[in-house]
Amino acid sequence: MNGGLPDPVQTFRAEAADLFEQLESTLLDIEGNPGDRDLIDTAFRALHTIKGSGAMFGFEAAAAFTHHVENAFDMVRKGSLAVSPQLVEIALRAKDHIRDLIDAPETADGMTGDIILKDLALLVGGTPAGGHSQPIPTPKPEIKRTTFRLHIVFAQNAMMTGSNPLRLLDELRELGECSMVPVADAIPPLEEIDPFGCYMAWDCVLTTEKPRSAIDDVFIFVLDDMELTVEEVEVTPKLLGEILVERGAVSQEVLQTALEGQEKLGNILVKEGVLSNDKLRAALAEQGHLKTEQDRAAKEGTAIRVQAEKLDELMDQVGELVIAQARLRQLADKSNDITLKSIVEEIERLSGHLRDVSMGIRMVPIGTLFSKFRRLVRDLSNELGKQVQLSWSGEETEIDKTVIERLHDPLVHLIRNSVDHGVERGDEREAAGKPREGRVHLSAVHSGAQVLISIKDDGKGLDRARIRAKAEETGLVTPDQELSDNELFNLIFHPGFSTAQKITNVSGRGVGMDVVKRMIDGLRGTIDIASTPGEGAVFTLRLPLTLAIIDGLLVRVAGERYVIPLSAVEECIELSSEDDARSTGRDFLNIRGDLVPFIRLRNLFDLSGPAALYPKVVVVSAGEFRFGVVVDQLLGGHQTVIKSLSKLHADIPTFSGATILGDGGVALILDVPRLLDFSQSREEQLKAS
């Protein structure tokens, strides 16, 4: 039993995962900047930390293997080994193997490690060695910062014997952060001063990573003739009086008497003649030094790790609070109690702030995801014999961690397709007047309650003729069927659809784009495609910022209530009697000169009940397409806590979830893109029948 404390091995694995990400990113940077010493040092430190911590937590094989890679980078630091593409390639493979040795040591392939070490030994000019028979390096102890209080009094004849006190004090400062105050108490009257004598003393506070013996080493040649007092000091906030008593400057009795006065403690003691100005300044300097050191330590400890499950549980509880607050608001609206209404408004404010803070905790910069694809593009480029550079912008854009986790695989598929299908080979690009090196660019930007993520390449663009031919071959379209660019491009998301001329390890089996569409639909997002022949293609993902709580528009249709995500709503208008009297086959609204189609939820869902005298139209957008949704009544804005549908109802395409209302009732949340698809497919079925 560990009393609920986290498993130290799992904690190490989590920290190692961060180190592996840092190491991979650094290695890829080194490949482009082989002369950057800071990058080399960063890679070396990451390997050293993995090695030492791995041995400490029982991952002996990982520590022994890492030792060899660390040695190679130590040779680079010392100038005996040059950075080369081969070294970076071996280091990346080694990083993957070390991760396997830590994440799943029982299944890690020992032969893979031996091959990597043989390649590394040949590169550095050594003898190949096995990966598991090497001695385990002993990890260096953790560096500890210690604060010392020093009182330094040199011998009066120190300068006459060839010593230089000021130079020794400068050497002391080089050991760490040092606060030093001269003490002139022992200086005699002018007529008694020996011009060759040393009368000054120094009070010093030193914070250093060096051991206690390093202080003695500074004064080693004068130690026998001087007075040197060294005490270790605890780094905690202290009052001036405590420091003075600890230093022996005043007694506790004198301090207590002085505290009864009204002036500042230091001034009181100086006036009473029990403390010199120099000793007061020394004590104040120590007080300031200790406070600075404590603040530094506090800042270093501000970041903590929190399990993802705990964040999910927190968000669930915030969602329940929002539901309870809505019920309380409904009760308050029926009451004339002003005090109750005031309390409800305060609870609404607090719960809203708590919701924003909780959602903010879950938000993660998307740059953490973008940086993972550098290795993917590099390896694909080498495999396909192309020169492709990955770049990105908007990496500071934040998105819900759940969305980030589920977005990885779709982006992998899209990037692989851009590198394989989009970017041409170097000779083809030169023939087309392009740079030999292709480019894939990732970008992210906030747009209301959505985030737009684009994958853009500067390749040849989508081949409309080949897509059309493949669609006709598979029976998706007829030869005489007219298609817009958007309709044509969306054919690539059909299962099994592929225009690749041959099957490779990268593509050609028609598996991938349909998976992308399904995953993005599962995130309640959409995909837009744009392509210019000879210039490239752009895939834009429109995704919600969060999957937990959204702002919605609550509507009523034939006695049933539904929620439309507010991010999809453009405007609300009243349906005129002329528009309402038209045929229900294909309805259009004229909104400021634009024809906007609309659908009637009453008919689409086969709802019965009296129709509203003045129905409303909610104009929504799905990607670049606008359409209207006819409802009976607009009930107002609603903070919507999304609840998943049961397994029995999970396959209903028009709903993305449900929410609990203030009166305890349930309202279904409309999935706007799927609602449009369902309406169009139903219309086609009616025409066919």
DSSP 266-334: HHHHHHTTSS-HHHHHHHHHHHHHHHHHHHHHHHHT------HHHHHHHHHHHHHHHHHHHHHHHHHHT
| List 24, 48, 398, 421, catalytic entry | 48
**Annotated catalytic, 48?**
yes
- Compute the distance between CA of residue 150 and CA of residue 203 in angstroms, rounded to an integer: 6
Query: Residue 541: how many CB atoms within 10 A of its CB?
Result: 23
Query: Residue 454: how many CB atoms within 10 A of its CB?
Result: 19
CA atoms lying within 13 Å on the CB side of residue 89: 8
Strands (E), 80-234: 146-153, 176-183, 201-208, 227-233
Strands (E), 86-186: 146-153, 176-183
Quick check: helix, strand or coil at residue 562? strand
* Helical spans, DSSP H, in 57-84: 60-78
Report yes or no: 455 and 536 within 8 Å, Cβ to Cβ. Answer: no
DSSP 16-61: HHHHHHHHHHHHHHHHH-TT-HHHHHHHHHHHHHHHHHHHHTT-HH
Identify the CA nearest to 610 among candidates 542, 686, 556: 556
Query: Residue 382: how many CB atoms within 10 A of its CB?
Result: 13
Identify the CA nearest to 508 among candidates 414, 409, 383, 417: 417
User: Token match 């040649």: residue?
Assistant: 221
Q: Any idea what the Cα angle at residue 593 is, between residues 587 and 599, rounded to 5°? A: 20
Question: What letter would DSSP give residue 422?
Answer: I
- Compute the distance between CA of residue 631 and CA of residue 611 in angstroms, rounded to an integer: 10
* H and E: helices and strands count for the chain: 23, 21
| List 417, 421, 424, 638, catalytic entry | 417
- Compute the distance between CA of residue 354 and CA of residue 358 in angstroms, rounded to an integer: 6
| List 24, 31, 68, 70, catalytic entry | 70
**Annotated catalytic, 417?**
yes
**Annotated catalytic, 383?**
no
Strand partners, 557: 560
Identify the CA nearest to 415 among candidates 446, 392, 433: 392
- Compute the distance between CA of residue 99 and CA of residue 162 in angstroms, rounded to an integer: 58
Report residue 20 as tokens: 């592996």
- Compute the distance between CA of residue 484 and CA of residue 539 in angstroms, rounded to an integer: 17
Catalytic annotation, residues: 48, 70, 417
